[in-house]
A and B are shown apart, each in its own frame.
Chain A
Amino acid sequence: MSENTAMLEEQFRRRIAGGETIEPNDWMPDKYRSQLKRLISQHAHSEIIGMLPEGNWITRAPSLRRKLALLAKVQDEAGHGHYLYSAAETLGISREEMFDQLHAGKAKYSSIFNYPTLSWADMGMIGWLVDGAAIINQTTMAKCSYGPYSRALLRICKEENFHKKQGMEVIAMLIASGPKGKAMVQESFDRFWWPTLMMFGPHDAESPNSPDMLKWKIKLKGNDELRQRFIDMTVEQAHAWGLTIPDPHLKFNEQTRSWETGEIDWKEFQAVINGNGPCNHERMEARRNAHDNGAWVRDAARAYEAKHRRNGGTTV
């Protein structure tokens, strides 16, 4: 490392320690840039892939109210993808490059979206658990050191509460409808509980990128701390609804005043992250098809713009 770089890194470290926000044209260490590219693009991919499990139920929503809510939520997720791809682009990676990585199967996205949505209760479960977990992650990350990412997350956080609430409404109504509805919720809960806990990532001790990311405020809390916050909140809600947590080892620790779970099946987590979950193949195929089938729209918009430019005017 040259003397100059060492000085710049020290300045950078001090800026972050002082609570300053890093902006796209500021000097930053290469590793800070590459970590952020990876993190923000993975987050963007998760929003886009995350539309698929719910999109699966739009045509089968049980009422107009539910269909509207689901459509609006899925549209929001597309918007979140846009905010995040734009934030990543400020780091000098093109959107095309990110799409290529995703479509080639080289990019990661949240493992939760590789699980199937088998019943209508899953729509409630995703809002309650998956968006609930995402809210905990995203509100924490909104205080991160990189300006464009932080601002995108603030915008996202404002929209997520509706996602969670509409899901909880679905669940509450199913439970109120009687034993059949409640059984449907319990069955869905049994499938989603563990994969949702996996969303927070590996234990801090096994999370290879954590130390650097904490130092640079790309990450503000450890995976385990955020997971625990989610568990404590959600267990209480589940109990209030009379649901059973699918974990024989779950117990309340009187000293820490928090709920302790059994161990997560990390083999399953690794398998899903590495492409072998129940729906990885299906999700990637749907994503590639959507991109390819949308090519004519992109071409048409560009041709339209070119035609107006030739005619010497703008299109507005």
Chain B
Amino acid sequence: MNAPHQQPDDQWDLWEVFLQEGENEPHTHAGSIRAADAENALQNARDVFSRRGAVKNLWIVRSRDIVATVPGDTASFFEPGSDKVYRHPQFYRFTLADELWKKP
């Protein structure tokens, strides 16, 4: 990614756009736009991603400020969550008339 304000080309900074498209919906990534500053970014994001209303709220963030997992490492990075079956309700089994209670 380019260092701030030292663009090799004629283009503005790259920003990522997140839209909340309905009441009680999460913000989801919609795409990217180019803009010189935050105000300009909000306006461009509006013009590019909400030409038909339906957008409740809009977030923008400079692309270079986003930190993401590294694709090659994702398997090991997410490993701690992938082998814990007991974190799912399906792991637990019982009936209400369970004999367990009656046994000594």
Residues of A whose CB lies within 8 Å of any CB of B are 23, 25-27, 72, 75-76, 79, 82-83, 86-87, 89, 94-97, 99, 148, 151-152, 155, 159, 298, 301-302, 304-306, 308-309, 314-316
Contact = CB atoms under 8 A, between A and B. Distances in A.
Main secondary structure of the interface of A (DSSP, over half): helix
B31 A298 contact: no
Given A23-B71, A89-B14, A304 B31 contact: no
A115 to B, nearest CB: 27
19 contacts: A25-B68, A26-B71, A27-B71, A75-B47, A79-B48, A79-B49, A82-B33, A83-B48, A86-B32, A89-B14, A94-B8, A96-B8, A96-B11, A155-B30, A159-B51, A301-B40, A304-B37, A314-B37, A315-B40
A76 B37 contact: no
List of 5 A-B pairs having minimum Cβ-Cβ separation, nearest first: A96-B9, A305-B37, A301-B36, A86-B32, A305-B36
A308 B48 contact: no
A76 to B, nearest CB: 7
A156 to B, nearest CB: 11
A94 B40 CA distance: 20
Nearest to A303: B36
Contacts of B35: 301
A74 to B, nearest CB: 12
Given A298-B36, A301-B36, 19 more contacts: A27-B72, A79-B49, A86-B32, A95-B11, A96-B10, A96-B11, A97-B9, A155-B30, A159-B51, A159-B52, A298-B10, A301-B35, A301-B37, A301-B40, A305-B37, A306-B5, A314-B37, A316-B38, A316-B42
Contact of B36 (A23, A89, A304): A304
A86 B51 CA distance: 18
B39 interface: yes
B51 to A, nearest CB: 6
Contact of B32 (A72, A89, A96, A301): A89
User: Interface majority SS on B: helix, strand, loop or mixed?
Assistant: mixed
Contacts of A23: 71
A75 B39 CA distance: 21
A26 B30 CA distance: 20
A302 B12 contact: yes
Q: Which of B5, B37, B52 has the most CB of A within 10 A?
A: B37
Contact of A86 (B8, B33, B36): B33
Contacts of A301: 12, 35-37, 40
Interface in B18-50: 30-40, 42, 47-49
Nearest to A291: B10
B59 to A, nearest CB: 12
Interface string B49-67: 1011000000000000000
Contacts of A309: 5
Given A23-B71, A89-B32, A96-B10, A79 B38 contact: no
A26 B32 CA distance: 19
Contacts of A302: 12, 36
Contacts of A86: 31-33
B39 A315 contact: yes
A76 B48 contact: no
